[in-house]
Chains A and B, each alone.
Chain A
Amino acid sequence: MKARLLIVDDSMVIRNLIARQMLDERLPPIDLVGLAGDGEQALAIATARKPDFITMDLTMPNMDGEACIERLAKVLPSARIMVVSALSDKTTALRAISKGAHGFLHKPFTEEQLVAALLELMS
């Protein structure tokens, strides 16, 4: 069964960067269930399409990543979430981890780092 992934980031550039990496042969087959530009969209997509894995930006309009992780923990506790954030957001990232994030990837990331982080998240 393919791993179901949801990408959440308010930047289209970053969303595309991550999405493009999905085809990397080192990764297991991945089904991209959606791209969300903010926390509210993410929550809606996650509720409807139940992804197994989520990459989550923290600084976003409408609902930020931290709040979204908190809600997802209740709505979809089975999803493993990887925070993708700049290191200047350490406090937020730490809070996100304590609220249930399973992985952390700091921006900017290289393709190698992204693949490694996804493998770790999916292991």
Chain B
Amino acid sequence: MSVAAGLLVTACGGAAATNNTTNAGGVTNVVNAQQAEVTAEELRITLERQLGQHALLAIEAMRAGVAGQEHFDAAAGALGKNTDDLTESIRLVYGDEGAEKFNELWTNHIGFFVDYTVGLAEGDKDKQQKAKKRLDQYRQDFGAFLEGATEGELPQNAVADLLQAHVDQLIGQVEAYNDEDYEKAASTTREAYAHMFATAKGLANAIVSTQDGFEGSVEGQAVDLRSSLGQLLGEHAQVAMQAMRAGVSGQDDFEAIAGALNENTKDLTAAISSVFGEEGGQAFMKMWADHIDFFVQYTVGLAEGDQQKQDDALKRLEQYQQDFSNFLDTASDGSIPADVVAKGLQAHVDQLTSQVKQFNDGDFEGAFSSADEAYNHMYDTAKALSAGIVAFMGGEMPSGGVETGAGGTAK
């Protein structure tokens, strides 16, 4: 079960007693007795995962749209499912009224991005300007919605500023893509995705500080680690899938996407090096790079209709699962068990190969459904990995305080 599913089942299951209050913003806050089982950490991670996915899917849809690619409908459908998921998360906190208002505003802003994309595709400057104006109004409206919902914890202007960055990033990447500046489009995509994590953290903090029932804290070293790993692993899955799709269909942006994948690999390696040292980080990077190359080999086999090449790549990925699982198990002194890692990797391999095969077969809806599973799966992986790292680090960190004074200035 995904984190979100767990969160929602925990929060929404059963007939819980509710205590409704209406705040100045007109949004009813639903304090659900069962909310007590939802931790602040899960709220933050869920919002990060869903908002991060929103940015990535919106970008995919805008690019498919401006380039007239066949998978546009499927990308837009996946974006719609993400909106539904986000709406359910908002419902958990603010009830039906808040969820409906959120859904309306959110759906509208996606529509404005689509308007802009149409204007860009048609070379219609007036349409682009109108879409930007509507996005400006949306920033104010959504800012007012959140200010009311969070009882002023998130001021309207601050939200509007955060949204300005989101708007600039999404418009910037689709313009770059339309201009065939694929490198800029890819790097802006990384920024847009990362931006959603800061947004989600701020939103989670505001919700937890104004609503009862969330156990624990939004911030802390362990949750920060889980969040960072979720961000990097989620990005890995999404960008790897984009690269495989671009690869199998021979698109010109493959190299730029693969470049973004390399940047993600560097960031992940650095994070792993900070746990297992430089040598451990290098060993990780070699294996990680291998598994990406095996996915690319599978993609090439698929594009060429070469079954043998696909089978060879799958065999290598099988060997990688064993090697990588054993590496993490050994490096962490058993805190990250090999059997758990291997099981997770099998799902990752199945999801990534399925989505590119479905994409190649023209089953775009199936491809985006598999991609959704693959993206969300990475957040479960991040949860397990960060827990294993925290357990492992218990025996590795320096002990106690530091003796850095001799008392010469003490009174």
A, B: real partners: no
Residues of B in contact with A (beta carbons under 8 Å apart): none
Residues of A in contact with B (beta carbons under 8 Å apart): none
